[in-house]
Amino acid sequence: MEKPDCKCLPSQIYRSAEIKYGDKTMVEKIKTWKDNWNDIIRYILFQDERLKELMLVPSRVDIIGFIEKYFIENTSGDEILTDEKVRVIYYDEEGTKTGNKDVKNVNKAFDIYVKEDALHNADRDRLKNRYDLIAERLRYLLTKDTYVYGMRFKYEDAYNLWTKTPGYKRYHVVFSYKKTI
């Protein structure tokens, strides 16, 4: 898709398809929820230097390396940890019912894994855990504006979870958003 010649946000740029219904022509937007989330990763999360610094992402890593090694979508729940000191794994979960059959709540959960030797060296006084700072940064980036690339996130909860991998701490952060079907 060519970059449009306008001063609009990427979330306001929609691919469209013209569909003929008899003698009428309708234009349908075909940008999906997944497209919106990819825009958030590309233009918000990956561009944020503070988040990448907290996640200990080397400066030479491109966006493909970022999503393959440090910020991973994993729907199976398996813990994928190798030698990275910090890794964020995210996935969608079914949310609560809305009462409207065309709208559903979806929870976007983030599991933040931090190796114990990198846990307490993210700030000057070493009292805050690195996973707390990453969770705070995610919360700021996803909720600072009412709508972020067509999605409206609401902070739900954050808490510690156990992990099967020795040497790592796991922190779970949950946001919710509404999705039309």
**pLDDT per residue as tens digits for the range 123-150:** 777 788 999 999 999 999 999 999 999 8
pLDDT of residue 26: 58
Mean pLDDT, residues 114-120: 92
pLDDT of residue 176: 96
| 49 phi/psi in degrees, rounded to 5 | -65, -35
Average pLDDT, the chain: 84
pTM score? 0.81
Residue 172, judged by CB atoms within 10 A of its CB (0-12, 13-18, 19+), counts as: middle
pLDDT of residue 78: 55
